[in-house]
Structure 1
Amino acid sequence: MNIIRKARGTEIPHRVQGLFFCCDTRNAGDKDKLIADLLSMDAGMDCVVSYLETQDIDRELLQNELRENQAFVLWITVELLQSMTADNFPAEYLMAKELRVPVMPIADNGELFPRFTELAGAVHGIAMSDGEYRTKLKAQMESFLASEEIIKEIQEKAFTAEVFLSYRKMDIHEARRFMKVFHDLEGFEAVSIWYDNFLTAGRNFDYEIKESITKSDAFILLVTPNLATEGNYVQTTEYPFAQQKDKLIIPVEAVTTDQSGLTALFPGIECTANMNDNTVLHNIFREKLSESAYLKQPDTERAYLLGMAYQKGFGVERDFDRAIRLLAMASEGSGISALRAAKQLANIYKDGIGIGVDYDKALHWRKRAVDHSEQIYGKEHPATATTYNNMAAVYHYKGSYDRALEFYEKALTIFEKVHGKEHPATATTYSNMALVYHYQGIYDRALDFHEKALTIKGKILGQEHPDTATTYSNMAGVYKAKGSYDKALDFYEKALAISEKVQGKEHPDTATTYNNMAVVYCDQGSYSKALDFYEKALAIVEKVLGKEHPHTATTYSNMAVVYNRQGNYVRALDFHEKALSIMEKVLGKEHPAIATTYNNIAEIYHYQRSYGKALDFCEKALSTMEKVFGKEHPYTATTYNNMAKVFQKQGNYDKALEYYSKALAIYEKTLGKEHPTTIAIYKNIAEISGNQ
């Protein structure tokens, strides 16, 4: 098993933090781009990225490597999902989960996440296709790695003492058991234990070990039969150096060992502490270590810093259960450290760091953070506004849109008052609120807030910044949803101009804009133009992303819609089937994109007068739409409307009226009574009433 390590420079920094990278073997040739992103200055955190060069896995070596890293980065691609099933995950991933190494999923495309979470469970991740990818990557890196500031605080304030643990490498499991036993002893949780898993790969280990012994307050000799063999490194180097430095030496017997053989190799050693006797072990450390090493109850600041140390594995072996308990203890206090602890716990549960994603627990700790911030800074301070924003984001993830808006509005009131209406924090809040209004189908409000954000971004970032392009695209999406197609095209063209100039004409984001414009042309009935833009998009995605990528499937599906509108049903079904084949393989059968494809196929069968098949596919679409979006979403209304049309054609007018009424109730609420789609339903209902 060969492990490759990459750093920003040519030399690996001293005691640098690490990320372990894993991808499908078919993506190995493309991994350097993502690794470069992880190591870039934009990511904000210095680290080393390691990965397996070959797949011949040595379980023990891999376990040690994973334990040494702060997070496990899993690159989610089409190829990875193709090889994954509920019983078949990469060996490195399974081991990381077993060891509770935090997992940071990074998807090639956001559409891959539903399928991944279906297989792996709820887990937060980011997508390289996201317009805010680099911003979100930086935030994730800050969540998983310790900043220089927090490392300095931990070094200076967290620990009461530092001991050096000396043991034979083959006794690593006993060493880890000792650390757990020792930190479970009353009063010794705040003692740092240095052991050789903290060595920096690629550096002079002999120098680092001697440096750590010199700095330590005590030298713990872990006694096993393996230690009582002549010529091992502990006997020849570590122990004599500790004696030379006049270190306090405390032998602890982990496994019953012949004492005569031990004293022959380690003269003067008397092993009275047994790792399996907690009372004796506690008394010996109370007696041997300085009084300051013992700490019965940490204060708020120290509890927070110790919680961070155990979470990040800095100065101690990583222990998530202990970290969460210490952070929770800190959050019960008051002041800045209590606030920081509550924020950290919220992030742990929101992002699923070392545990599963749990939005309810994330909200609990977000609320605690809000309470602390209001107490420390007051209710009109920008720091408190940030806690409101964070609270809103979790409600947004949960789909509790009204509660999300409530907290975004609280944050906005503060930002507008303190920073003014042209500050980046204000713009971000406007954008967040616009997205919520769009999800709710309140399109005019969504546009109002996008406009406010756009004005600020244009002034601060410039008219040709990718963030400005993202806002143009978001606004175009709202106009399209409203049926204002000319306005939608205007804004997509603005986004396209920036994308082509900044990212190039063969970038996936450029292809996405081509796709979006083609959809609008199709809705307008300009089918030739729609196909032209879809062909442009398809050429890019097939070249850059491959023929079995969700973007490729989306383009196939969209082209099928155009062929359907042209009456070329055979061609339309052919392209829908290409799309469906990719989507079911990559996204799973309960993804909104698949529901849309079911709807589209149903429409073709409708036109072909195969009403039974049309209803079958409508039912499949409806099942997914109701599950994903709920029964009052415009997407669900589209399926109700499609089913009503089929029932109408069959002459089943009662069922047709039932489903038209369901669709109408939603459209009147979300689109308004004057929207073309709403008006069309009025006409259909009137027609049925006339027939009856």
Structure 2
Amino acid sequence: MAPDPRGHSAIPGATTGTAPGTAPDATPYDTGGGTAPEALLSTAGRYRRLGRLDEAERTLERAVQITRDSEPSQDAHLRALDALAELLRLRGRYRRSDEILRSALSLAEETPGVGSLAVARICNSLGVLHKYTGRFEESESFYSRALAILEADLGDEHPFTATLYHNLGGLNHARGTHAQGEPFARRSVEIRRRTHGPADPELAADKAALAAIVHALGDLDEAERLLVEALAVFETRLGQDDYEVASCLNNLASIHYSRGGFEAAEAGFRKVLAIKEGCLGPAHPELAVALNNLAMTLWKRGRPEAAVPVLERAIVLLNTEVDRDQPVRLACLRNLQTCRSSM
């Protein structure tokens, strides 16, 4: 099974070093007005929350154009590029997101400079992207660079530094180095317990990410407790059809699977898939995790013929946006062979 920890993308703005706290599914740029570029970023954030992603993308492209052509400061242009790249990642267009972020990083390294918070923000975004695409060494390099800047500028107790601890924990989980990831994940929970309220979605996201790691280390009871706590916050604050709810339900279904409760696991994975399809659309490559988990549960229940088309769909979704050696794609290919041989 593949538990579903997410990378956080909200870290400080480029020049001030401060930004409002954001829920896991919010952009760190929705400031609600101000200059023309800020108004465009705010409008794009509203479109995104409403699920009007085409309009959000067009608005961000306009913000990129305006800030490139007329902004006296590089800051607004870098934030527009980062916001557009994040939206494209969320829409499953990983290759284009990567192109934009690498361009933004080159600009930020020139102005405001290699040790700036702008560089940290873009490195974090690249780390998140490359965790999704399975390029783990690049992800670690970008996360580590961002963390060094944040620790030097903000200290190791700051909520934004906690974002990098969260992301490094999730990266180690994705790589299978769970014991190395656990201290990072626990650190992010500890920091946000002190800086956020108990019903804050960011703390809930940290708990969910820690749960995935302790599950992999064999402590199903602690994992379940953390996930139940996180799920209650997400359902209350974000709604029952939110992506974060689906991530928690995926990991709870994985616990059922680990305990041999395959009927409950199948029901859980089907619900996860329905929510994610509603959030992301039916052609998003990130659906592959839920499809793989559902397929292997069907196989465990003696239904390989039902699992095969599910895995075939997962592979098709991944083929255009990830490298051939991306871990989820390879797992789906191995599992497809297993299911076919069982028929």
Q: What SS does the corresponding residue of 2:199 show, helix, strand or coil? A: coil
2:230 is matched by which residue type in structure 1? A
Shift of 1:686: 1.5
1:490 maps to 2:123: no
Partner of 2:181: 530
Partner of 2:203: 552
Partner of 1:398: 52
Partner of 2:127: 476
Partner of 1:83: none
The 5 Å alignment of 1:601-612 reads: 601-612=252-263
**Cα-to-partner distance string for 1:367-393 (whole Å, 9 max, x where unaligned):** xxxxxxxxxxxxxxxxxxxxxxxxxxx
Residues 556 and 543 of structure 1: CA distance in aligned 2, closer, same or farther (over 3 Å): same
CA distance in 1, matches of 2:89, 2:24: 19
Shift of 1:448: 2.5
* TM-score, normalising length: structure 1: 0.42
CA distance in 2, matches of 1:500, 1:410: 29
| Contact 2:269–2:290 (CA under 8 A) maintained in structure 1 | yes
Give 2:22's match in structure 1, choosing from 104, 109, 116.
109
Shift of 1:654: 1.9
Shift of 1:622: 1.8
Shift of 1:397: 6.9
| Contact 2:211–2:223 (CA under 8 A) maintained in structure 1 | yes
**Cα-to-partner distance string for 1:175-215 (whole Å, 9 max, x where unaligned):** xxxxxxxxxxxxxxxxxxxxxxxxxxxxxxxxxxxxxxxxx
Shift of 1:587: 2.2
Residues 428 and 532 of structure 1: CA distance in aligned 2, closer, same or farther (over 3 Å): closer
| Contact 1:557–1:576 (CA under 8 A) maintained in structure 2 | yes
Residues 407 and 478 of structure 1: CA distance in aligned 2, closer, same or farther (over 3 Å): closer
Partner of 2:153: 502
1:140 is matched by which residue type in structure 2? G
CA distance in 1, matches of 2:33, 2:56: 27
| Contact 1:405–1:433 (CA under 8 A) maintained in structure 2 | no
Partner of 1:594: 245
Q: Return the index of the structure with the highest Cα Rg.
A: 1
Q: What SS does the corresponding residue of 2:274 show, helix, strand or coil? A: helix
Shift of 1:141: 4.3
Give 2:305's match in structure 1, choosing from 651, 654, 674.
654
Q: What SS does the corresponding residue of 1:633 show, helix, strand or coil? A: coil
Q: What SS does the corresponding residue of 2:150 show, helix, strand or coil? A: helix
Partner of 1:448: 99
1:411 maps to 2:304: no
The 5 Å alignment of 1:1-150 reads: 108-111=21-24, 130=28, 132=29, 137=31, 140-141=33-34
Residues 602 and 623 of structure 1: CA distance in aligned 2, closer, same or farther (over 3 Å): same
CA distance in 2, matches of 1:576, 1:607: 15
Residues 454 and 681 of structure 1: CA distance in aligned 2, closer, same or farther (over 3 Å): same
5+ long unaligned stretches in structure 1: 1-41, 43-105, 114-126, 144-342, 360-393
CA distance in 2, matches of 1:435, 1:639: 21
Shift of 1:567: 2.5
Partner of 1:622: 273
Partner of 1:636: 287
Shift of 1:610: 0.3
The 5 Å alignment of 1:350-361 reads: 350=43
* TM-score, normalising length: structure 2: 0.82
| Contact 2:179–2:217 (CA under 8 A) maintained in structure 1 | no
Partner of 1:576: 227
**Cα-to-partner distance string for 1:132-162 (whole Å, 9 max, x where unaligned):** 4xxx54x62458xxxxxxxxxxxxxxxxxxx
1:665 maps to 2:326: no
| Contact 1:647–1:655 (CA under 8 A) maintained in structure 2 | yes
Task: Give the fraction of aligned pairs with identical amino acids, expressed as a percent.
Answer: 21
5+ long unaligned stretches in structure 2: 1-15
Select the structure with the greater relative contact order (CA < 8 A; seq sep ≥ 6).
Answer: 2
**How large is the RMSD of aligned CA atoms in angstroms?**
3.5
Give 2:213's match in structure 1, choosing from 562, 565, 571.
562
Which region of structure 1 is more displaced relative to structure 2, 580-589 or 602-611? Answer: 580-589
Residues 402 and 657 of structure 1: CA distance in aligned 2, closer, same or farther (over 3 Å): farther
The 5 Å alignment of 1:247-258 reads: none
CA distance in 2, matches of 1:406, 1:587: 24
CA distance in 2, matches of 1:108, 1:426: 21
Residues 403 and 447 of structure 1: CA distance in aligned 2, closer, same or farther (over 3 Å): closer
| Contact 1:476–1:492 (CA under 8 A) maintained in structure 2 | yes
Residues 500 and 561 of structure 1: CA distance in aligned 2, closer, same or farther (over 3 Å): same
| Contact 1:411–1:429 (CA under 8 A) maintained in structure 2 | no
**Cα-to-partner distance string for 1:656-683 (whole Å, 9 max, x where unaligned):** 1121122122111332443221122122
CA distance in 1, matches of 2:128, 2:206: 17
Shift of 1:685: 1.3
Residues 543 and 406 of structure 1: CA distance in aligned 2, closer, same or farther (over 3 Å): closer
**Cα-to-partner distance string for 1:611-651 (whole Å, 9 max, x where unaligned):** 11101211221221111111111332221111101001111
Q: What SS does the corresponding residue of 2:286 show, helix, strand or coil? A: helix
Q: Which has the higher helix share?
A: 2
CA distance in 2, matches of 1:540, 1:447: 30
| Contact 1:473–1:491 (CA under 8 A) maintained in structure 2 | yes
| Contact 1:561–1:572 (CA under 8 A) maintained in structure 2 | yes
Partner of 2:12: none
Shift of 1:427: 4.5
CA distance in 2, matches of 1:503, 1:609: 45
Q: Which has the higher strand share?
A: 1
